[in-house]
Amino acid sequence: MSAQPRIAVIGAGLGGAAAASLLAKEGFNVRVYDQSPVFSRLGAGIHVGPNVMKILRRIGVEDALNEQGSHPEYWHSRHWQTGDVLAQIPLGDYAVKEYGASYLTVHRGDFHALLIDALPDGILTFDKHLTQVEDLGHVVRMHFADGTVEEADLVIGADGVNSRIREELLGVEPPKYAGYLAHRAVFPTPDVKAGMLPFDPCVKWWSDDRHMMTYFVTSKQDELYYVTGVPVEQWNLEDRWLPSSKEEMREAFDGWHPTVQALIDSTVEVTKWSLLERDPLPLWSRGRLVLLGDACHPMKPHMAQGAAMAIEDAAMLTRCFKEVGASNYQLAFDLYEANRAERASKVQRISHDNTWLRTNEDPSWCFGYDVFNVPLVDPLPTAQKT
């Protein structure tokens, strides 16, 4: 391996794009490949917490995202029928002061576009669907669907829930359908907003078996987003998402608060997505291959921290390469896993249970985390790893 190992990132989603940016900023020799023919802007919203904003600061897009996003003063949780406040979690200026950066909600496509634009010229190639990866011991060979073959010294699998790299490490095993669907809709903020009381900029409506989360996705607050969690027993795993309808939404949220009904009435287009999970993986890397994000720990989105974990992984992996050198990759990978597995599994567990911020609780362990300054723990000796 040369003094400056060639690092390939498979997948330019939120995790892969962040990894490539951070590695390039630190002077590593990195290339990133994505199967999409061109950049695609997923019509959805996303929460970006202070734990992520601190990483975006290093990438250089914190200010731009702050300008694009909506900055709610609070996360509200409300009772599905009465609208009573179940929790009021301070964000806004409080988040900046207590957690070191802002908490915002934004259009996911706008966020992703900022990360893609931040990549140095020439390091991202679209239309590269990885079909096979071979770790030959001294080098990794990557085969793409267009018939091309490329080599790298190290390969980061940031290729999402159906990761090809994960399959190489652990065999073919489909993710588990979690028994829930998420309806997603982005639409212009309705004129009837004033009639929707209570109306909070960031609110989760809860019943015992389902929920609806609503927030603005622009700083002007002219676009709204909702995402649900609704139990549905069967889902064909071949379909990642399907169209839904206002009628389906009305049925799923029959009897819910008038604000929820008004949101459903204002919906322009709504889709439904399967929620997928995996149990924590027994290993995050082997040889020259390593995983991050949904490839490694896909989770229900109920903590709004899935992408956050992918981006934190990217930052920690970069930190570990810097700490011990990318040529010393086995140690870097062990250090990375030792410093990420516990936190990612905790977030996976809470997301599964769907309890996050339902009642007043202190979120500082999550939002206050600073991946660049948290003290590193030593890796387990290989013999003690299961």
Ligand X SMILES: Cc1cc2nc3c(=O)[nH]c(=O)nc-3n(C[C@H](O)[C@H](O)[C@H](O)COP(=O)(O)OP(=O)(O)OC[C@H]3O[C@@H](n4cnc5c(N)ncnc54)[C@H](O)[C@@H]3O)c2cc1C
**One residue of 6, 7, 8, 13 binding ligand X per CB under 6 A:** 13
Does 68 interact with ligand X (rule: CB under 6 A)?
no
Element (H, E) at 192: none
Residue nearest to ligand X (CB): 13
Q: Name the minimum Å distance from CB 82 to ligand X.
A: 26
Does 33 interact with ligand X (rule: CB under 6 A)?
yes
316 and 340 Cβ atoms separated by less than 8 Å: yes
**One residue of 7, 10, 32, 152 binding ligand X per CB under 6 A:** 10
In the chain, how many H helices and how many E strands?
A: 11, 19
- Draw the binding track, 131-170, toward ligand X (x: CB under 6 A; -: no contact): ---------------------------xxx---x------
327 and 5 Cβ atoms separated by less than 8 Å: yes
Q: Name the minimum Å distance from CB 307 to ligand X.
A: 3
Strand locations in the chain, DSSP E? 6-10, 29-33, 45-48, 74-79, 85-90, 104-107, 124-125, 130-135, 140-144, 149-152, 154-157, 176-188, 202-206, 211-216, 223-231, 241-243, 271-277, 285-286, 289-291
- For the record, the structure tokens of 154 come out as 């190290």
Residue 47 appears among annotated catalytic residues: yes
Cβ partners under 8 Å of residue 241, min gap 6: 271, 272, 273, 274
Q: Which residues between 224 and 283 bind ligand X (CB under 6 A)?
A: 227, 273
Stretch that binds ligand X, among 53-61, 76-84, 135-143, 293-301 (CB under 6 A): 293-301
Q: Name the minimum Å distance from CB 33 to ligand X.
A: 6
Residue number with CB closer to ligand X (3 or 38): 38
Residue 352 appears among annotated catalytic residues: no
**One residue of 9, 116, 130, 290 binding ligand X per CB under 6 A:** 130
Q: Which residues between 35 and 54 bind ligand X (CB under 6 A)?
A: 35-36, 46-47
Check 33, 215, 329, 369 and give the catalytic one: 215
Q: Are strands 124-125 and 29-33 parallel, antiparallel or unpaired?
A: parallel
Q: Cα–Cα distances in Å, from 65 out to 17, 115, 191, 218, 224? A: 15, 10, 26, 10, 17
Residues at the site binding ligand X, with contacts judged by CB under 6 A: 10-16, 33-36, 46-47, 128-130, 158-160, 164, 182, 184, 227, 273, 293-295, 301, 304-308, 310
